[in-house]
Amino acid sequence: MDIQQKQIRNIAIVAHVDHGKTTLVDELLKQSGVYHEKQQVEERVMDSNALERERGITILAKNTSVMYKDIKINIVDTPGHADFGGEVERTLSMVDNVLLVVDAFEGPMPQTRFVLKKALELKLKPIVVVNKADRPNARPAEVIDEVLDLFISLDADDEQLEFPVIYTSAIQGWASTVPNEKGENLLPLFEMIESICLPPTGNKEVTQMMVTNIEYNEFIGRIAIGKLQNGTLEIGQNVSVITPQGDTTTQKIGKIFTFDGLNRREVSQVDHGEIIAISGLQPINIGETISSVDNPKPLRAIKIDEPTITMTFGANTSPFAGLEGDYVTSRHLKSRLEKELETNVSLHVSQTESKDKFLVAGRGELHLSILIETMRREGYEFEVSRPKVIFKEIEGKLHEPIERVFIEVPSEFSGAVIEKLGAKKAELVKMENPNPDQTRLEFLTPARSLIGFRAELLTDTKGNGIINHTFEEFQPYKGEIPAKNKGSLIASDTGEATNYGLFHCQERGTLFVGPHTKVYTGMVVGQSTRNVDIDVNVCKKKQVTNMRASGSDENIILTPPTILSLEQSLEFIGDDELLEVTPDNLRIRKVQLDSKKRIREWKSKQGK
């Protein structure tokens, strides 16, 4: 018989990037008394990762809790981007309710769709929070209609369509059940959570907990995090740990922690419905079930979206290898990737024919670029190849991943965007104008068409294009897509870039390096204005003579170099190029550094 834990509410908070969910959690923590009155509180406290703070996005799912009256509200902050689908899947399996935060002006946006779809499939109880209701251009009534349309398009059931609505300003710290009416505090939101959100239910007859996250502590080892769905657990208890493959081991629980505000509180025993952290189980992995020894029963494994993008990671082989990184060998690289697999369930890593190279598959370019950026900040030095999509054979036919793409551009550029994506085998499925000057476009597009497209979009729209995309499904192969030909400017000599050398190269294209930058033969130093690679000598020095030409020394005027970010570098590199990643620098290089050998290889391919 299932029993309700009426003193607990487990809630996932879901929103598109920048719609204010992390700020809302901050305010819930403040108003529930987690912080004392004079405590200095850092903004966006749930975004603890340095990359999250820089980019303003949530990458890792995190847990906290607040108290309202005698009810404990466990809150889980979820990633808003489809590339972190593995985090979303695990998070939603721990909760019974979902707080959908939408901007009072923008309404539901693409990444809202991705996470909400998962939540509705799991039959979670939704509450719609219309945030930023204090904005002068807020349009709450239209936004609610758009949310309803979104629920209908995602096949929500009748009960889910009757969602309650509350209007908030997270930045000002108030909530109201009436549109266009300012509240005093977040009390109406707390009351709605108490009265409407479903308490967790469970069975005392059997003990079951799915491990949905793993942390590591150097003093107590691996810590398993998840929701105790059934039964009870206590310190020192023997439990069965069941893998998704059915293998079972008997282990003893060390310590049990519950979430108390932003901290953890050690407890001796815990009942079902609570989100907990457990130490002492070694080894333990995501997706495994903790159950009782006398009646071990596994829970259904979490279904994770398949990877769609693959890249090759390898030890750095450039002439500058080992000069800037702390961890430079393939052994270091392999160890780090294996460690990432323990917590990043959407990632797949396999060995290639070369012992120094590894095939890494992920949910998208952002998913892999976050991994690359994290590793370089930890001191790793390595090289990566151009991203490629993963093809599948289904019923004897080749299939490829299709993305649902949402683009918002000024109306004057919509024709150019439609034409460009049309050439890339994209299918336009929706076009609307939220206002006369803006156009929203929705496409179904092969994932391979999007590699490098973001940079093209920004160029075509003069920096005003916004693009989001989520994985849709695998569809039959769409055929060849014409590749955009772009040539590279390649350093012909090793040395230090000079003003004189750069000045005579800049007319051939856009330079990526400035004066005094160290370069090596075969390193890409810019993008050519032509569709072919050009060797240039950026290290060239002016001939020294005892004659001085009047005025010529002062005529060297350099255009500032274009410094590519990590994402821009990944979009730029071609199939015959690599990106050298170090803690200090990102360098694009040719796979074959020797120009004569490159030409011979190119001619042999042309002859085939």
Q: For residue range 103-114, what is the model confidence (pLDDT) as tens digits?
A: 888 888 766 777
Q: How far apart are CA 82 and CA 90, in angstroms?
A: 13
Q: Which CATH superfamily is domain 488-607 in?
A: bipa protein (2.40.50.250)
In terms of C-beta density within 10 A (0-12 exposed, 13-18 middle, 19 or more buried), how is residue 32 classed? middle
Q: Which tokens is 449 given?
A: 């068409």
Residue 10 pLDDT more than 60? yes
pLDDT of residue 385: 93
* Predicted TM-score of the model (pTM): 0.73
Alpha helices in 406-477 (DSSP H): 414-422, 453-460
Which CATH number fits the domain 309-388, given the four candidates 3.30.70.870, 1.25.50.10, 2.60.40.10, 3.90.180.10?
Answer: 3.30.70.870
Sign (positive or negative) of CA dihedral 28, 32, 34, 40: positive
Residue 225 pLDDT more than 70? yes
pLDDT of residue 525: 94
Cβ atoms 253, 233 nearer than 8 A: yes
Enumerate the known binding-site residues.
18-23
pLDDT tens, residue by residue, 322-372:
899 999 999 999 999 988 887 777 788 998 888 889 999 987 777 788 899
Place of tokens 């240039």: 536
Residue 161 pLDDT more than 60? yes
* DSSP 8-state class, residue 507: G
Helix, coil or strand: residue 97: strand
For residue 199, cis peptide bond before it (omega within 30 degrees of 0): no
pLDDT of residue 131: 92
Helix, coil or strand: residue 124: coil
Indicate the domain borders of the chain.
Answer: 2-199, 202-292, 309-388, 392-476, 488-607
pLDDT of residue 343: 72
pLDDT grade for 42, boundaries at 50, 70 and 90: very low
Question: Quick one: average pLDDT of 263-269?
Answer: 88
Residue 463 CB partners (closer than 8 Å, separation 6+): none
Enumerate the known binding-site residues for GTP.
18-23
Per CATH, 309-388 and 392-476 having the same topology is answered: yes
Q: Which tokens is 43 given?
A: 């903004």
Q: Which tokens is 439 given?
A: 């156009």
Neighbouring C-beta atoms of residue 295, cutoff 10 Å = 12
* DSSP 8-state class, residue 523: B
Place of tokens 């209007």: 167
* DSSP 8-state class, residue 248: E
pLDDT grade for 480, boundaries at 50, 70 and 90: confident
pLDDT grade for 483, boundaries at 50, 70 and 90: low
Cβ atoms 255, 225 nearer than 8 A: no
Looking at the DSSP bridge assignments, the partners of residue 361 are: 310, 348
Of 33-42, 229-238, 347-356, 565-574, which gets the smallest average pLDDT? 33-42
Does domain 2-199 fall under CATH 3.20.10.10? My reply is no
pLDDT tens, residue by residue, 182-210:
888 999 999 999 999 989 988 888 899 98
Neighbouring C-beta atoms of residue 508, cutoff 10 Å = 16
Residue 295 pLDDT more than 50? yes
> How much of the chain is helix, strand and coil, in % rounded to 5?
25, 35, 40
Cβ atoms 29, 215 nearer than 8 A: no
Question: Quick one: average pLDDT of 249-257?
Answer: 91
Which CATH number fits the domain 392-476, given the four candidates 3.40.50.300, 3.30.70.240, 3.40.50.620, 3.60.20.10?
Answer: 3.30.70.240
User: Could you tell me whether strands 518-519 and 438-446 are parallel, antiparallel, or unpaired per DSSP bridges?
Assistant: unpaired
pLDDT tens, residue by residue, 444-467:
999 888 887 877 787 788 778 878
Percent of the chain at pLDDT > 70 equals 89
Q: Which amino acid is at 471?
A: F
Residue 180 CB partners (closer than 8 Å, separation 6+): 133, 138, 140, 167
CA-based R_g, the chain, Å: 27
Q: How far apart are the first and last CA of the chain?
A: 70
Q: Which fold has domain 202-292?
A: Elongation Factor Tu (Ef-tu); domain 3 (2.40.30)
Q: Which residue has the higher pLDDT, 311 or 58?
A: 311
- Report how many helices (DSSP H) and strands (DSSP E) the chain contains, helices first: 14, 38
Helices 110-121 and 140-153 pack at an angle, to 10 degrees, of 50
pLDDT grade for 547, boundaries at 50, 70 and 90: low
| Angle made by CA atoms 492, 498, 503, in degrees to the nearest 5 | 85
Neighbouring C-beta atoms of residue 438, cutoff 10 Å = 15
pLDDT grade for 43, boundaries at 50, 70 and 90: very low
Q: How far apart are CA 77 and CA 88, in angstroms?
A: 9
